């Protein structure tokens, strides 16, 4: 048995895979499923619209025409993005809504995660399942459910009216508030889980030590709990903010025509206006905007590790 | 206060023997239950100013719970805890004038050594310069000058221990609580730190309450030891009292090595007691008021108080014949096990000091030998 094991791992026999392959595989994956699609989108963004299939020009017609092809590419779509204030407004509005949703999710998730981490050990798996449970149902169906709740004379209105709290419908449907409710609801688990993980690892004797050294409960929270939960807070904010900023379904279904978000603009450009180059440019700019928090997070993670 | 003669049997520091002395800490009939388990049971204990007191016992004996009640992390179910005459009931941990050195050290991982030590001082609202001065003073005290900027994960185990100590001392607590302070250190470092802690305690004149399961640690460091058993104190006393005059079999067996000969009292003449045991007729000189003939009793004997002879000893005293069963060379002494003759064939531990480097051990496996010990060497354990 031992000689067999040795033979298997001896170099030069071809198996297991040579080291370069192990390193190359993830890169190959990134190349095939991230970089190549990105380049295709970039190429469309640099093209012009055309009444054709697919609806843009120029088309690649072989290496002989490569120079002409490259000359036909331009930054016209990006110029449109910068020139028309609609797009800037949409980006800013998306940033604002995503940031607000992230903040509200953090304010709800932190006490929730703290309560979960403080609960008796035997309860914690059940509490975790409760947090993850909504994922058993389709995201789309859950957003539709919110439509039923928020629409005029919907579940919420009926409930509050029944309790005698309101006379008029709240009129939440098709407002930014409805979008925020939908986003916070949908992304809350992504905020709760990382914060819970960092709080659950927090050594309780640190809190006792802080109390022993004269720290009031508030002081202990500010000086010990929050700093030590910071990796979880950052990860959670990141996991909520990034998908929220490009969100399409929630603003489309709950926000109505009034809510301006970049995901909706992209969808309209692509499907309604059939302006693929402009839609691609919107997508690329969104990616660049998202790269900012991503890089900031990476910087933080590296600093934490050091 | 007179400086204590550390490690010396003749102590000048013994306030517990003085009826006029006022205790600094008093546990009065303290009981603490966790569910069905009674961790501390109707316990009463006084600690005196400047005393180094050790709570000694196996895990689960309630020693840590008792300490945590003084720190305020647990609340007694009944009874009172007084500090300088003040009832501590209802006072949360952050308002108590005690500080604790945690077993895990519990250093704040996201703060530098400086900030860890400064943490307690900042809670007191001390000015920045005063904090810096006090931290520097503490770092000097624990010999960690130059480490102020380090993070806890950049420190060795011994250095962490010192930071934890400095942090707990920085606020000048009335009582310093030490939870297994040396438990995480290796043997060499433990001994060094032991003496440093004792010097520190004598220098600062603070009251120290230490929890430990290590009897050597308790014996070496403490002025008095409370040996605990299942939530109660089995015996309180100076280390030599605990060792030489254990109150019962539990204490005798928990602290140090001991041989126990069970038997029955056959005569009591003043303080001279004769016991009939499996090892033969044993004589000991130990006051035992009210002991009656026919009562069950044991003779407990420390291994170092026995001599091994190759011929039958003459004269009075105790003797027993047997053969060498095992010899364990431990460096400073050799632990010999002798199997006594007779049906029971009890194994008796004998500690032989290795006084010279070159003496050949006069005994070997399976040798026939005689054990001999003084009438005053044994301890009478009743029941």
Q: Which residue has the higher pLDDT, B120 or A57?
A: B120
pLDDT at B81: 97
All structural domains of chain A: 18-74 (no CATH), 84-305 (1.10.3720.10)
Rounded Cα gap, residues B174 and B121, in angstroms: 15
Residues in chain B within 8 Å Cβ distance of A223: 108, 119
pLDDT at B121: 96
Contact B73 A224 (CB under 8 A): no
Residue B359: what pLDDT? 63
Does residue B1 have a pLDDT over 50?
Answer: no
* B60-103 confidence digits (pLDDT tens): 999 999 999 999 999 999 999 999 999 999 999 999 999 999 99
pLDDT of residue B13: 85
Contact B71 A206 (CB under 8 A): no
Give the pLDDT confidence score for residue A14 in this predicted structure: 53
B236, HSE (Cβ side, Cα atoms, 13 Å): 14
Tens-digit pLDDT profile for residues B364-376: 888 888 888 988 8
Round the average pLDDT of chain B to a whole number and report it: 89
pLDDT in tens, B309-354: 888 888 778 888 898 999 888 888 889 999 988 777 889 999 988 8
Position A192 pLDDT exceeds 80: yes
Neighbours of B382 (CB within 10 A): 13
- The pLDDT of residue A17 is 64
The tens digit of pLDDT for each residue in A89-126 reads: 999 999 999 999 999 999 999 999 999 999 999 999 99
Q: What was the ipTM of the complex prediction?
A: 0.84
Answer whether B109 sits within 8 Å of A210, measured CB to CB.
no
3-state secondary structure chain B: CCCCCCCCCCCCCCHHHCCCCCCCEEEEEEEEEECCEEEEEEEEEEECCCCEEEEECCCCCCHHHHHHHHHCCCCCCEEEEEECCEECCCCCHHHCCEEEECCCCCCCCCCCHHHHHHHHHHHCCCCHHHHHHHHHHHHHHCCCCCCCCCCHHHCCHHHHHHHHHHHHHHCCCCEEEEECCCCCCCHHHHHHHHHHHHHHHHHHCCEEEEEECCHHHHHHHCCEEEEEECCEEEEEECHHHHHHCCCCHHHHHHCCCCEEEEEEEEEEECCEEEEEECCEEEEEECCCCCCCCCCEEEEEECHHHCEEECCCCCCCCEEEEEEEEEEEECCCEEEEEEEECCCCCCEEEEEEECCCCCCCCCCCCCCEEEEEECCCCCEEEEC
The residue with greater pLDDT, A305 or A77, is A77
Q: What is the dihedral of CA B270, B276, B282, B286, to 10 degrees?
A: -30
- pLDDT given at position A6: 44
Confidence label for A4 from pLDDT (cuts 50, 70 and 90): very low
**Confidence bin at B2 (pLDDT 50/70/90):** very low
Q: Domain residue spans in chain B?
A: 15-97+173-253, 257-382
Q: Which CATH class is domain B15-97+173-253?
A: alpha beta
CATH of the domain spanning B257-382, picked from 3.40.50.300, 2.40.50.140, 3.10.20.310, 1.10.132.20: 2.40.50.140
Q: Residue A23: what pLDDT?
A: 82
Report chain B residues touching chain A, CB-CB < 8 A. 71-73, 92-96, 98-100, 102, 104, 106-110, 119-120, 123-124, 167-168, 171
> What percent of chain A shows pLDDT beyond 70?
94
Q: What distance in Å separates residue A212's CA from the closest CA in chain B? A: 5
**pLDDT (tens digit per residue) in B265-317:** 988 888 888 888 888 888 888 887 778 888 888 889 999 999 888 888 887 78
From A153-157, A234-238, B132-136, the region with the lowest mean pLDDT: A153-157
């Amino acid at each position: 048995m031992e000689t067999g094991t040795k033979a298997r791992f001896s170099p030069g026999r071809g198996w297991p895979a040579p080291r370069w392959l192990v390193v190359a595989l993830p890169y190959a994956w990134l190349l095939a499923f991230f970089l190549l699609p990105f380049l295709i989108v970039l190429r469309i963004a640099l093209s012009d619209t055309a009444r054709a299939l697919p609806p843009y020009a120029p088309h690649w017609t072989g290496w002989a025409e490569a120079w002409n092809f490259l000359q036909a590419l331009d930054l016209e779509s990006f110029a449109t993005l910068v020139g028309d204030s609609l797009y800037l407004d949409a980006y800013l509005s998306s940033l604002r809504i995503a940031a607000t949703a992230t903040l509200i999710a953090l304010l709800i998730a932190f006490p929730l995660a703290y309560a979960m981490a403080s609960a008796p050990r035997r309860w914690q798996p059940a509490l975790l399942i409760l947090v993850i449970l909504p994922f058993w149902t389709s995201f789309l169906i859950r957003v539709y459910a919110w439509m039923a709740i928020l629409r005029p004379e919907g579940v919420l209105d009926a409930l509050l009216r029944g309790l005698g709290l309101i006379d008029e419908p709240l009129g939440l449907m098709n407002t930014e508030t409805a979008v925020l409710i939908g986003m916070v609801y949908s992304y809350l688990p992504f905020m709760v889980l990382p914060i819970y993980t960092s709080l659950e690892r927090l050594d309780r004797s640190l809190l006792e030590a802080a109390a022993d050294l004269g720290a009031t409960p508030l002081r202990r929270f500010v000086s010990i709990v929050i700093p030590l939960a910071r990796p979880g807070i950052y990860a959670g904010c990141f996991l909520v903010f990034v998908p929220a900023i490009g969100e399409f379904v929630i603003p489309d279904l709950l926000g109505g025509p009034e809510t301006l978000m970049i995901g909706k603009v992209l969808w309209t450009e692509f499907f309604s206006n059939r302006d693929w180059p402009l839609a691609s440019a919107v997508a690329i700019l969104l990616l660049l905007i998202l790269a900012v928090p991503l890089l900031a997070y990476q910087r933080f993670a590296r600093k934490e590790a050091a | 206060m007179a400086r204590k003669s550390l490690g010396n049997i003749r102590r000048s520091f013994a306030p517990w023997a003085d009826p006029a002395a006022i205790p600094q800490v008093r546990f009065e009939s303290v009981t603490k239950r966790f569910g069905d388990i009674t961790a501390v049971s109707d316990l009463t204990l006084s600690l005196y100013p400047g005393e180094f007191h050790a709570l000694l016992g196996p895990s689960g004996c309630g020693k840590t719970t008792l300490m945590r009640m003084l720190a305020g992390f647990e609340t007694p179910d009944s009874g009172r805890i007084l500090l300088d005459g003040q009832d501590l009931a209802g006072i949360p941990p952050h308002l108590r004038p005690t500080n604790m050195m945690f077993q895990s050290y519990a250093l704040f991982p996201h703060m530098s050594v400086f900030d860890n030590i400064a943490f307690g001082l900042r809670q007191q609202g001390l000015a920045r310069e005063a904090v810096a001065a006090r931290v520097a003073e503490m770092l000097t005290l624990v010999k960690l000058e130059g480490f102020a900027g380090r993070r806890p994960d950049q420190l060795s185990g011994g250095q962490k221990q010192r930071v934890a100590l400095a942090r707990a001392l920085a606020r000048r607590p009335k009582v310093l609580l030490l939870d297994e302070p040396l438990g995480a250190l290796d043997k060499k470092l433990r001994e060094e730190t032991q003496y440093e802690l004792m010097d520190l305690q004598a220098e600062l004149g603070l009251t120290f309450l230490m929890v430990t399961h290590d009897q050597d640690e308790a014996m070496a460091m403490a002025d008095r030891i409370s040996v605990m058993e299942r939530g109660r104190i089995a015996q309180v006393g100076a280390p030599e009292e605990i060792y030489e005059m254990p109150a019962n079999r539990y204490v005798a067996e928990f602290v140090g090595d001991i041989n126990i000969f069970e038997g029955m009292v056959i005569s009591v003449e003043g303080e001279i007691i004769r016991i009939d045991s499996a090892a033969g007729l044993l004589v000991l000189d130990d006051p035992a008021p009210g002991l009656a003939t026919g009562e069950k009793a044991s003779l407990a004997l420390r291994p170092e108080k026995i001599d091994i002879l190759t011929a039958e000893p003459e004269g009075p005293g105790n003797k027993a014949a047997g053969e060498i069963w095992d010899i364990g060379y431990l460096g400073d002494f050799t632990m010999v096990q002798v199997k006594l003759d007779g049906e029971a064939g009890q194994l008796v531990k004998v500690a032989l000091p290795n006084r010279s480097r070159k003496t050949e051990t006069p005994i070997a496996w399976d040798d026939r030998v005689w054990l001999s010990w003084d009438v005053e060497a044994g301890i009478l354990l009743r029941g």
